[in-house]
Amino acid sequence: MASEITVAYKTGQLLYVLIFNTVGEVWNFLTAVFEAVVNSDWTDYELALAEQGTTGIYEGNFPALSAGNYSVIVYQQKGSGPLPSDGPPLAPAQTLEWDGSKEIGLNDIMESVIANGGSNPYLLARIYGEVAPQDSQGNQTFFDVNDPTKARVTLSPTTPRGGRSVTLDP
């Protein structure tokens, strides 16, 4: 686990995050459990972010939690230590999907879909963006959202077993 939490903000600040589970409990780093927020325990909830030089880029390592969806809320420390009065947060809560050892990204989802025999064009379009009409051989290509000239995924019409084959383009 390394720098899964990244925040851009003005340089020279003291930033920290609180991590919440899906039922609104906050992670307590001292006791290593999720619990209802107790103002007097606020310092036990904070994960300090380290600025990278004077770049205004702050990073922190997500703790070793079980797989799940978590909310991460960023605060700017205003005094000598983290306090509930440091609010409001710098931004709305951000969701982090965690597999137990790393963040789950779109490529992880795509690899899982392909590994499980999926070639759903609607799902691929949601992940990879624009889709071209089928060509004369029945191939269907999905293009990069940011570069519509770059093919990302090609679906071929059928395999010997009757399914569709999926090719990830570099």
β strands within 32-150, DSSP E:
33-35, 47-48, 50-51, 57-60, 68-76, 94-98, 140-143
The band of 102, judged by pLDDT with boundaries at 50, 70 and 90, is confident
25-29, 32-36, 56-60, 127-131: least confidently modelled range = 127-131
Tokens linked to 160: 């010997």
Q: Cα-flanking dihedrals φ and ψ of residue 97, to 5°? A: -90, 125
Mean of pLDDT values over 2-15: 90
pLDDT higher at 106 or 74:
74
- Predicted confidence at residue 125, as pLDDT, reads 54
- 3-state DSSP assignment of residue 111: helix
The band of 60, judged by pLDDT with boundaries at 50, 70 and 90, is very high
pTM, two decimals, is 0.65
CA distance 51 to 29: 21
CA distance 19 to 28: 9
- Predicted confidence at residue 98, as pLDDT, reads 87
pLDDT higher at 61 or 2:
61
Identify the top-confidence range among 3-7, 74-78, 122-126: 74-78
Fold observed for domain 5-98: Immunoglobulin-like (2.60.40)
pLDDT tens figures, 114-164 = 555 555 555 555 555 555 666 777 666 666 656 666 666 666 655 444 444
Residue % of the chain over a pLDDT of 70: 62
Mean of pLDDT values over 70-75: 93
Domain spans, the chain: 5-98, 106-168
Chain center to CA of 137? 37
- Predicted confidence at residue 162, as pLDDT, reads 47
